[in-house]
Structures are given as structure tokens and as C-alpha cells.
């Protein structure tokens, strides 16, 4: 698969296409970034382009507003990164910075050679300042190598298409996209990509809990290697066993 194949598979109508370049200084004018964050953006990003803008004027989807959220449109922004010094580095922090700088729901597509990484984020109205939005939760795919996709990644990209999402309003449409990113991240642990009837927040909560347990198990195993007292070894093994059982239970619930 190529980058063009990916965009064609998204099946976003031509009426939404923009292909408008965005300059980094435009990001800096929206948010008071720290000097280190500005440095990160300048050093890692090559170009930014607003490829698509989904609005009631360009697609038959309605705006959504409630006391906490405004989903009036959805933008797709492509961020082409400079040649990395660390090829395994995920663009998670960079995604968070850009999401904070854009005051509406956004699909970020990071591009690095044959790889892409997709980032979405739910945003809510800032209770202290209703003119601003607060980043509520980010959802990231990590790097996907388009030249050698796994079966789960292929299933995800086939499912990550606009016609498969709700057209009732932009909030439900964006939620459906988020659900697919969460399903991909669950597939890393379950071994298969599948959507469920759960909300993305419920499924993400279980995923977070499972990852937390896995991290605890890793720490306990490291501690076990250093432990010399027999009774403490027994206790550590019991803790690991309990956590392993909880991990297996959570996997069945993903």
C-alpha cells in the first residue's frame, strides 16, 4: 500500500479536499508553547498540510454541540516528518502538541518514509474559558509501515474509512474513527482486530488497565531476579500470578 492508496481507502469526498499548506508559525500563534516544545516542532516537522476539511458545507454531516463539546467540523492534517535520528520514536508527544493547537476535532496523519501514524483526540470546552478547548484524551495508532502491514493493520485500514462511520453528526462520526483506533490497539494484545459494541472510553479503560498490569508484572519480575529471601520470592510470585490472571481476564473483555 502507498500513501495515496491510504487516502483513497479513506474515501473522503473530493468536495472536502483542500491541500492547503500550514506554516509552523500558525501553530505557535494559537498556543503559547514552551521553548522546548517549539524546538521539538521545528526539529521534527518538515511540512504540514490541511488535506481535507469536513464541514456541513462540504459533506452531508451535521454539526454537534452540547454544554461540553463542539464538533462543528473535522479536519485531516498531514504532518511529514524530517528524517528521524531514532527510527522507533513514536510521534505521541508531537501529536499532543498539534492537537492542542487546533481548536476543532482533527485527524492527524504523520508521514515518515513508508510509514504513517494516525492520531485522534477528543476535545471539550474549557470550563474556565469557553472560547478554548481542552484536550480530553488522545488515541494513537503508533507507526504503521504501509509496505509491510500485518493482517490486523490491514483490517484496521480497510475499516478506517469515512463511509463506515456515522453520518448523523460530526461527534458520532469522530467517535467511530476513535473506536477503530482503540480496536487496533486492542488487537496488539488479543491477536485480532474487531469492533465491539462498547464505547471507545470503556474499551480504552480496560486496555489501560491491562497495560498497567503488564507494567507491574515487568517490575515485579525484575524485582524477583534481585530478591534473595525465599518468603519474599514466594510473595512476588503470588502477586505475578494474580496479575497474570487479571490480564488474561481483561484480554477476553477486549
Q: What is the pLDDT of residues 148-166, one digit of tens each?
A: 999 999 999 999 999 999 9
CA distances from 149 to 124, 140, 141, 184, 202 (A): 34, 17, 13, 12, 27
| pLDDT the model gives residue 224 | 82
Torsion over CA: 1, 87, 36, 182 (sign)? positive
Q: Where are the domains of the chain?
A: 3-192, 204-253
Q: What is the grid cell recorded at 158?
A: 480497510
Three-state DSSP at 45 gives strand
- The predicted model scores a pTM of 0.86
Contact 54, 16 (CB under 8 A): yes
Contacts of 85 (CB under 8 A, 6+ apart): none
| pLDDT the model gives residue 84 | 66
| pLDDT the model gives residue 129 | 65
pLDDT tier for residue 49 given thresholds of 50, 70 and 90: very high
With a cut of 80, say whether residue 130 has pLDDT above it.
no
| pLDDT the model gives residue 8 | 96
Contact 77, 49 (CB under 8 A): yes
- CB count, 10 Å around CB of 132? 14
| pLDDT the model gives residue 230 | 80
| % of the chain surpassing 70 pLDDT | 96
Q: What is the mean pLDDT of the chain?
A: 89
6-20, 71-85, 178-192, 217-231: segment of lowest average pLDDT: 217-231
Amino acid at each position: 500500500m502507498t500513501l495515496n492508496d491510504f487516502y483513497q481507502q479513506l474515501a473522503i469526498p473530493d468536495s472536502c479536499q483542500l491541500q492547503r499548506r500550514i506554516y509552523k508559525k500558525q501553530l505557535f500563534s494559537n498556543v503559547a508553547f514552551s521553548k522546548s516544545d517549539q524546538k521539538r516542532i521545528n526539529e521534527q516537522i518538515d511540512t504540514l498540510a490541511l488535506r481535507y476539511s469536513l464541514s456541513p458545507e462540504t459533506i452531508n454531516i451535521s454539526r454537534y454541540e452540547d454544554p461540553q463539546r463542539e464538533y462543528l467540523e473535522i479536519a485531516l492534517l498531514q504532518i511529514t516528518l524530517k528524517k528521524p535520528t531514532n527510527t522507533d520514536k513514536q510521534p505521541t508527544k508531537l501529536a499532543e502538541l498539534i492537537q492542542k493547537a487546533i481548536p476543532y476535532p482533527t485527524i492527524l496523519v504523520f508521514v515518515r518514509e513508508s510509514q504513517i501514524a494516525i492520531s485522534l483526540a477528543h476535545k471539550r470546552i474549557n470550563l474556565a474559558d469557553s472560547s478554548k478547548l481542552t484536550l480530553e484524551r488522545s488515541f494513537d495508532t503508533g507507526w504503521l509501515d504501509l509496505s509491510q502491514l500485518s493482517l490486523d493493520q490491514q483490517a484496521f485500514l480497510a475499516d478506517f474509512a469515512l463511509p463506515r462511520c456515522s453520518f448523523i453528526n460530526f461527534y458520532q462520526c469522530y467517535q467511530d474513527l476513535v473506536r477503530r483506533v482503540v480496536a487496533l490497539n486492542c488487537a496488539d494484545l488479543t491477536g485480532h482486530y474487531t469492533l465491539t459494541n462498547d464505547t471507545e472510553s470503556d474499551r480504552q479503560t480496560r486496555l489501560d488497565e491491562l497495560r498497567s498490569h503488564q507494567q507491574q508484572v515487568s517490575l515485579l519480575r525484575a524485582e524477583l531476579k534481585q530478591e534473595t529471601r525465599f518468603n519474599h520470592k514466594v510473595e512476588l510470585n503470588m502477586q505475578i500470578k494474580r496479575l497474570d490472571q487479571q490480564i488474561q481476564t481483561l484480554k477476553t473483555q477486549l
